[in-house]
């Protein structure tokens, strides 16, 4: 492999929602390519049609676009590369390194259970390799389904891993593995190997759960005398309790985070720094390219995924992005939440967000904080009684007719009059918030004056005078 040309790939299967672990793998491939002025390839591994739920990988492509992770080549689809796999398979067949296996899944499972019961490691016993040509021809004539297996030779293979160093695989600990499915399509292990060779992939960056696959692919590299790439088997993500992430855990999928109001820059930021130590933890993609040390990678088997740390970073980024960006992200959420905002523009939403920008941890906080702008709250006396509402009724009646051109001016005059009359400012301001927003706590009076029209404010505080 030409080590001067860095070529990496992200190779997801279109079999469901993008797992957050896959997002991290895509990110690190993109970071590594950019750091080394290399090429980032997108490859859709869609050879198993029975599991495909995202035809054409459209969702995958849109997810990468939303995250801002740009690839240089692709997307390539394995489903369109069968002739290439067949050509590589023919070379193995010519070398006598493959054989047909006719056993059914049930027969193989029965053998496996017998081996486990005897305390033996479950491995294929090569029974099919012992079939005579006559038996094979008879089974073929009967139309028996079969798969092709790769015949592992004795010996070892050594791979270079960026985190683990040299990793040695002893093939005596592995079984002859399948290269095809009963329908004739090629398996992940084989198609993945062929594509990496054909695309001249120099570094394979993927999850640590693929380490056992690497042994089989190393055997294929040896068999066809192909240059072997370097690897980085990344730590798997686990929850704060150290347990494997579950689909029931919030943040398991990218869709969880997107619908939860997290920014793509914050997601990339968190996935880029998790498990590491950085002087400045708030970084965009370009900063991560410079900060992530690929020559000092962790060899840990897992890293803890903490949504609360992600929330902290998202809060930082909500304040850092421009007012226009913030408004563009929030606009569709406001329109979805409130029919009255159906024709709102980015400029209008930007004006709404300005007084509350410091209160936003995620994007979905905005519609909740702004509910009172679009939906006039119902004033309930029961909610006002703990604030000594009856003692302030005459005061609120007197301020209703005070002249003011803006909401800010009116509320400031009410505040100053309350001070002059030595009223409990806490009670007066809490009653104002209750009447204006439906809650005695929340935004400051000045912010409420910006967000509500002066006439709307008069209408809402009128019940305080009744």
Instruction: Please check whether residue 374 is in contact with residue 340, taking contact to mean a CB–CB distance below 8 angstroms.
Output: yes
- For residues 138-157, average pLDDT: 96
What is the side-by-side strand order in the sheet with 156-161? 165-170, 156-161, 230-234, 203-207
DSSP sequence for 238-250: E-TTSSBP-TTST
Q: Give pTM, 2 decimals.
A: 0.91
Q: Is the pLDDT of residue 96 over 90?
A: yes
Read off the pLDDT of residues 398-419 as tens digits, 9 standing for 90 and up: 999 899 999 999 999 999 999 9
Angle at CA 54, nearest 5°, toward 53 and 56? 135
Is 185 a residue whose pLDDT tops 70?
Answer: yes
- Check 95, 243, 247, 419 and give the catalytic one: 247
Using CA atoms, how far apart are residues 152 and 215, in angstroms rounded to an integer?
11
Q: Mention every residue, 6+ apart, whose C-beta is less than 8 A from residue 246.
A: 239, 252
Residue 3 confidence (pLDDT): 55
Band the pLDDT of 269: cuts 50, 70, 90.
Answer: very high
Which residues, in sequence order, are CB contacts of 63 under 8 Å at separation 6+?
18, 23, 254
pLDDT digits (tens, 9 = 90+) for 287-318: 999 999 998 888 788 999 999 999 999 999 99
Can you tell me the distance from the alpha carbon of 298 to that of 290, in angstroms, rounded to the nearest whole number? 17
Percent of the chain residues topping a pLDDT of 90: 84
- CB neighbours (10 Å) of residue 305? 23
Question: What's the confidence (pLDDT) of residue 296?
Answer: 83
Please check whether residue 229 is in contact with residue 96, taking contact to mean a CB–CB distance below 8 angstroms: no
What is the average pLDDT value for the chain, to the nearest integer? 93
SS3 state of residue 165: strand
Q: Are 201 and 9 spatial neighbours (Cβ–Cβ below 8 Å)?
A: yes
Higher pLDDT, 380 or 97: 97
Topology (CATH) of 381-465: Arc Repressor Mutant, subunit A (1.10.10)
Which pLDDT value is given to residue 266?
98
DSSP class of 19? B
Please give the Cα distance from 310 to 303 (Å, whole number). Answer: 14
Calculate mean pLDDT across residues 315-334: 97
pLDDT band at 28; cut points 50, 70, 90: very high
Question: Is pLDDT larger for residue 147 or for residue 239?
Answer: 147
Give the pLDDT of residue 432: 95
pLDDT given for residue 245 in this prediction: 80
Instruction: Give the pLDDT of residue 240.
Output: 84
- How many other C-beta atoms lie within 10 A of the C-beta of residue 17? 16
Task: Summarize pLDDT for 60-95 with one digit per residue, the tens.
Answer: 999 999 999 999 999 999 999 999 999 999 999 999
Q: Which pLDDT score is estimated for 401?
A: 87
CB 38 within 8 A of CB 7: yes
Asked whether residue 434 carries a pLDDT value surpassing 70, the answer given is: yes
- DSSP annotation of 361 reads S
Alpha helices (runs of H) in 95-175, residue ranges in sequence order: 105-117, 133-141
247 is catalytic: yes
Q: Which CATH number fits domain 7-77+195-236: 3.40.50.620, 3.40.225.10, 3.40.50.300, 3.20.20.60?
A: 3.40.50.620
Residue range 83-173 in CATH 3.90.550.10:
no
Check for a shared fold between 7-77+195-236 and 381-465: no
Kindly give, in sequence order, each residue whose CB lies less than 8 Å from that of residue 323, ignoring residues fewer than 6 positions away: 350, 353, 354, 357
What is the Rg, in whole angstroms, of the alpha carbon atoms belonging to the chain?
Answer: 31
| Per-residue pLDDT at 108 | 94
Q: What is the mean pLDDT of residues 41-47?
A: 92
Q: Where do the structural domains in the chain lie, given as residue ranges?
A: 7-77+195-236, 83-173, 381-465
Is 431's pLDDT higher than 70? yes
Q: What is the 3-state composition of the chain as percent helix, strand, coil, each rounded to the nearest 5?
A: 55, 10, 35
């Amino acid at each position: 492999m030409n080590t001067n040309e860095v070529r990496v790939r992200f190779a997801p299967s279109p079999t469901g929602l993008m797992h957050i672990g896959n997002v991290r793998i895509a990110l690190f491939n993109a970071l590594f390519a950019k750091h080394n002025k290399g090429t980032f390839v997108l490859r859709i591994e869609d050879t198993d049609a029975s599991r495909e739920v995202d035809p054409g990988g459209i969702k995958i492509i849109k997810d990468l676009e939303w995250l801002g992770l740009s690839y240089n080549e692709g997307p390539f689809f394995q489903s369109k590369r069968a002739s290439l796999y067949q050509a590589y398979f023919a070379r193995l067949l010519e070398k006598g390194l493959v054989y047909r296996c006719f056993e059914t899944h049930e027969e193989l499972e029965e053998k496996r259970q017998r081996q486990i019961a005897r305390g033996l490691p479950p491995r294929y016993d090569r029974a099919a390799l012992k079939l005579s040509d006559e038996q094979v021809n008879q089974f073929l004539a009967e139309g028996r389904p079969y798969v092709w297996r790769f015949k592992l030779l004795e010996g070892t293979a050594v791979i270079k891993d960026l985190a683990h160093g040299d990793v040695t695989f002893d093939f005596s600990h592995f079984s002859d593995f399948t290269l095809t499915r009963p329908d004739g399509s090629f398996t992940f292990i084989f198609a993945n190997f062929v594509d990496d060779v054909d695309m001249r992939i120099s570094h394979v960056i993927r999850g640590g759960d693929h380490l056992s696959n690497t042994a089989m692919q190393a055997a294929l590299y040896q068999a066809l005398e192909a240059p072997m790439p370097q690897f980085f088997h990344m730590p798997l993500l686990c929850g704060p309790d150290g347990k494997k992430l579950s689909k029931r855990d919030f943040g398991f999928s990218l869709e969880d985070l997107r619908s939860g109001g997290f920014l793509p820059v914050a997601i990339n930021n968190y996935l880029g720094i998790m498990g590491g130590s950085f002087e400045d933890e708030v970084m965009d993609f370009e900063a991560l390219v410079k900060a992530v040390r690929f020559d000092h990678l962790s060899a840990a088997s897992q890293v803890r995924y903490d949504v609360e740390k992600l929330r902290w970073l998202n809060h930082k980024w909500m304040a850092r992005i421009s007012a226009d960006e913030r408004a563009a992200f929030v606009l569709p959420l406001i329109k979805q939440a409130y029919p009255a905002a159906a024709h709102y523009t980015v400029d209008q939403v930007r004006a709404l967000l300005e007084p509350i920008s410091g209160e936003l941890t995620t994007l979905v906080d905005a519609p909740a904080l702004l509910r009172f702008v679009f939906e006039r709250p119902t004033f309930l006396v029961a909610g006002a009684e703990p604030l000594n509402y009856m003692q302030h009724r005459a005061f609120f009646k007197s301020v209703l007719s005070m002249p003011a051109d803006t909401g800010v001016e009116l509320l400031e005059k009410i505040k100053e009059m309350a001070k002059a009359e030595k009223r409990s400012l806490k009670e007066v301001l809490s009653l104002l918030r209750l009447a204006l927003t439906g809650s005695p706590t929340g935004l400051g009076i000045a912010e409420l004056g910006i967000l509500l029209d002066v006439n709307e404010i008069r209408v809402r505080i009128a019940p305080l005078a009744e």
